[in-house]
Structure 1
Amino acid sequence: MIQYSLQCSKGHRFDAWFKSAAAYDDQKARGIVSCAQCGDGQVEKAPMAPNVARKDGERLPVSAGHADAARMRELLRQYRSKVMEEADYVGDRFAEEARKIHFEEVEARGIYGEASRDDVAGLIEDGVDFLPLPDIGDDN
């Protein structure tokens, strides 16, 4: 896994994880990398701060010390919990159900589930709005 610091053409900065550098390049070429704040598809890699070596030998990422990091993690956990409490879980039928809602074939409702890379690319191509559900562990 590789983490990139990204920035959209509107100046929003955000971090994203990719399986590899090639995976980032592939997703960018397919147009499925977009700003986490505004959805802008014009995203580029931003300068990144390296890990800082501590004297005791343990490495500490510079971003871990950000004053708002714990608050942001908690807000993401709350968002995930709210979605899971209030939305319908549709499993691997997510792409199919999202399209039905988008094209007004069924009544609009909140849903969550799983989607393959091809499903995600197809939803983007069809203009279906969706967001990944954040999975924030207790320690990060």
Structure 2
Amino acid sequence: MIVFDLACQPAGHRFEGWFGSSEDFAAQKERGLVACPQCGSHDVEKAVMAPRVGRKGNQSGTRNATSPARTPVASEALPPEVAQAMQKLARMQGEALKNSRWVGDDFAEQSRAMHYGERERETIHGEATAEEAHALIDEGIEVAPLPFPVAPPDETN
């Protein structure tokens, strides 16, 4: 995992994001999955940050006495209205996904097959790149991003 310091462009809110790689960050940002936790803006960029360099094998594990211990800081609580709206959206999405089938990376192909009558219509959800989503829309196929990220069934508890 890699940790990036991120900042939303409109307000400059800074926050931390954990990703599998730099490419994962770029892919998630392109799909609209990265948003500022304070204002919800999707206009998020990597902020300037100091690199985290590991110790050398010959260095002891003790901290330098001049560096202060890091104190955990609690995040600001969301306003009650925002928290309620997020909970309501999560419930609505959960209900919608109960009657939907996960198709993973095959979303664009499955959507086309249903649109062109090559397979029976059903409600599906999965992953598509921004280019695939735009192509589907250009073909007259109705698609919409989900308001929250969805974990594939094999990655949930």
Normalising by the residue count of structure 1, what TM-score does the alignment of the two structures yield? Answer: 0.50
Normalized per residue, the structure richer in strand is 1
Structure of larger gyration radius: 2
Q: TM-score, normalised by structure 2?
A: 0.45
